[in-house]
Amino acid sequence: MAIHPTAIVDPGAEIDGSVEIGPYAVIGPHVRIGAGTTVGPHAVIEGHTTIGRDNRIFQFASLGGIPQDKKYAGEPCELVIGDRNTIREFTTFNIGSPGGGGVTRVGNDNWLMAYVHLAHDCIVGNNTIFANNSQLAGHVEVGDWVILGGFTVVHQFVRIGAHAMTAMCSLLFADQPPFVMSQGQPAQARSMNFEGLRRRGFSPARIAAVKAMHKALYRDGLTFDEAKGRIGTLAQATPDAAGDVQLMLDFLGRVSPQRGIVR
């Protein structure tokens, strides 16, 4: 273990012997950090925070602080971070709250740039990219492979489906389905993330099915239920895309009528 002599590490913290902790970092008593993780200078990790393997946490990050929620009364809620994440300068990740399940969770292989904020009870999947100043309010869910443009702001309880993407300065008040690209204030659906899907190895048949889903949701004047019905038929027409179709149907099945989806 390489801990700089100016760092303050509580004796109760569970730190793997291979962890590196930089100057003036502060590690609280309920923190656990896995093998190969590095913690930069002046970072603060507190609360009931569990961090996995091979993460790189940069200087001035603040992880595990109490939620910015007036109802919070000191309950032992958690922040759980997976493996191989890059967490850049001045990021702020809060622990969960009793009203939201008690856990804020970040998956694996995420790239979280400077000034990103994850409020209480957010759930972030794997392989995401959050550009500088992306801000999530409480209870937001973000699927795998999502890309948030710089200064994206997401309202509380909004969900963003896998492979979705936002443009810079987007403001999300509604759920954004999988594969959708959005832009604007409030955000509107502009297209699907076709280039991202190609880079991830989606076949032409799967991309064609995503295009058909886009038409059903946004181009052909269908009601929400009609669009779901048409999307459901695509799995038979394109068996290779059955998983993509089910991903979309599962997401649409949880959309709140009050919130709706980006249009």
Q: Specify whether 138 is catalytic.
A: yes
Encode 74-103: b = buried (16+ Cβ within 10 Å), e = exposed. eeebbbbbbbbbebbbbbbbbbbbbbbebb
Q: Which of 83, 121, 144, 244 is catalytic?
A: 121
Q: Specify whether 120 is catalytic.
A: yes
Q: In this structure, are residues 248 and 213 in contact, taking their beta carbons and an 8 Å threshold?
A: yes
DSSP characters over 29-76: TT-EE-TT-EE-TT-EE-SEEEE-SS-EE-TT-EEEEPPS-TT--S--
Q: In this structure, are residues 88 and 113 in contact, taking their beta carbons and an 8 Å threshold?
A: yes
Q: Which of 47, 100, 107, 138 is catalytic?
A: 138
**Which are the catalytic amino acids?**
120-121, 138
